[in-house]
Amino acid sequence: MQSRMLPSYYLSQDVFAREQRKIFRKLWLFAGLTSLVPDNNSFIVRKTAGIPVVIQNFHGQLKAFENVCLHRSAPLQQGFCGRRALVCPYHAWSYDVSGRAKNIPDCDAIYGFGEVEKQSLKLREFALKQVGSLLFINLADEPMPFEEQFQAEFVESLQSAAESFDSEVMVTTWHGRFNWKLVYENLRDFNHVKYLHGKSLASVASFPFLAEGSAEQALEPLMDISSAGLRKTMRPFSYGGPEGVIEAIRDVPWLQRVERWGSQDAYFNWLAYPNLHIASGNGGYSFTIEHHVPVAPDRTDVEIYFVTAKRKAPYAASYQVLLANMHYSKKILSEDIEMLERIQSVLHDDAPIPTQGAYESTNRKIERWYATLMETGHEL
């Protein structure tokens, strides 16, 4: 069977811009961890679908705003995360929990704003949703309900795992030279593990064949191409739970120092369409949160957060545990990233269309949805 994905979907600036508008500015997207904004004035800075966003803690209340000052458009906060009141560094306008300009120094003396103008100064606010320690934002003016994007069982399972995350987190970013869709296609392709990761992941875990429904089903065109129909169709693209079988978990000392999530010796995977992947390769002792941020048609930032399950008490070597996890993941991930970069490097407008087998039915369903959405005038 031929894939529906045309080379231009991975190469074209125009397609990329349409994806940003029709997908990334409409869907709920991962935005960070609550442990990065633990107390008053702590913040996270992001660029999501091209829009600068700040998530700020106001005395325990988390809010997401456009990270652009209403005066001369300076970014309000800088860096990846930190602790600082929401005050513009340029001329010191400050903003309150509702995003209103709270204090404008020398307002009456030099700006001469009337009361009505002053009242209208309010930052653009985005919807924010917390699932355990995971934060999601939605950039749409009228965000779809979170429950329309993700199935209840998926959210429950994700929440249960994410509630067990420890507050200590290590973050690293890879600047990949490939289109963002190549990553999720790769993540939904278990068949590559034993070949591409033959010497790494495949030597400690195996991924049994999962029957995913018939591929023929995905051949028929989508019947309901209304916005509601498209949303409904995409819900099964996100799923999670035990997916692989692992060898007996090696008894390393730090395992005793954390409250393990669950008790099942399995490789856990949660895939949240479009760009979040969480894995626990050791049955709930530690987690890797992988977030794929499209930057350009051939550029994707892969941000990875490493956490263990909650520590029973702080211990000196916890940092080394995260570092060791990072080195191990880097090895596996670099095998994936290298392959995706190679695939991207041979793409051109007239490249052969990929051939797919029955086992790739999940990707086929996503492609059918994607091609329908991209080609129609519909928004999600």
In the structure encoding, which two tokens stand for residue 49, read together?
Answer: 């679908």
Q: What, of Fe ion, ligand FES, none, does residue 18 touch, CB below 5 to 8 Å by kind?
A: none
Among 8, 51, 71, 341, binds ligand FES (CB under 6 A): 71
Q: What, of Fe ion, ligand FES, none, does residue 93 touch, CB below 5 to 8 Å by kind?
A: ligand FES
* Beta carbon of residue 300, minimum distance to ligand FES (angstroms, whole number): 31
Distance CA 204, CA 212 (A): 24
Which residues between 321 and 360 bind Fe ion (CB under 5 A)? 336
> Is 268 strand, coil or helix?
strand
Which ranges of 179-292 does DSSP label H, i.e. alpha helix?
A: 180-187, 193-196, 227-234
> Is 55 strand, coil or helix?
strand
Among 15, 51, 74, 170, binds ligand FES (CB under 6 A): 74
Residue 93 or 261 with smaller CB distance to ligand FES: 93
Distance CA 57, CA 104 (A): 21
In 3D space, the residue among 180, 36, 46, 23 whose CA is nearest the CA of residue 126 turns out to be: 46
Among 9, 16, 93, 190, binds ligand FES (CB under 6 A): 93
* Beta carbon of residue 25, minimum distance to ligand FES (angstroms, whole number): 25
Among 88, 134, 182, 366, binds ligand FES (CB under 6 A): 88
Q: What, of ligand FES, Fe ion, none, does residue 336 touch, CB below 5 to 8 Å by kind?
A: Fe ion
Alpha-carbon distance values, 197 to 56, 241, 301, 337, 356 (Å): 40, 21, 21, 12, 21
> Is 100 strand, coil or helix?
strand
Residue 102 or 235 with smaller CB distance to ligand FES: 102
Question: Does residue 100 interact with ligand FES by CB under 6 A?
Answer: no
Residue 166 or 185 with smaller CB distance to Fe ion: 185
* Beta carbon of residue 52, minimum distance to ligand FES (angstroms, whole number): 13
* Beta carbon of residue 246, minimum distance to Fe ion (angstroms, whole number): 15
Alpha-carbon distance values, 248 to 16, 133, 196, 257, 264 (Å): 44, 28, 23, 18, 11
Residue 50 or 105 with smaller CB distance to ligand FES: 105
* Beta carbon of residue 59, minimum distance to ligand FES (angstroms, whole number): 23
* Beta carbon of residue 190, minimum distance to ligand FES (angstroms, whole number): 49
Distance CA 311, CA 256 (A): 9
Among 21, 72, 312, 342, binds ligand FES (CB under 6 A): 72
Q: CA quadruple 352, 358, 362, 365: dihedral positive or negative? A: positive
Which residue matches tokens 């941020």? 293
Distance CA 131, CA 152 (A): 12
* Beta carbon of residue 361, minimum distance to ligand FES (angstroms, whole number): 51
Alpha-carbon distance values, 212 to 69, 100, 156, 216 (Å): 48, 49, 21, 12
Distance CA 92, CA 168 (A): 32
Which residue matches tokens 């100064």? 121
With contacts defined by CB under 6 A, name the span among 38-46, 71-79, 273-281, 305-313 that binds ligand FES: 71-79
- Name the residues that contact ligand FES, by CB under 6 A: 69, 71-72, 74, 88, 90-93
- Name the residues that contact Fe ion, by CB under 5 A: 336
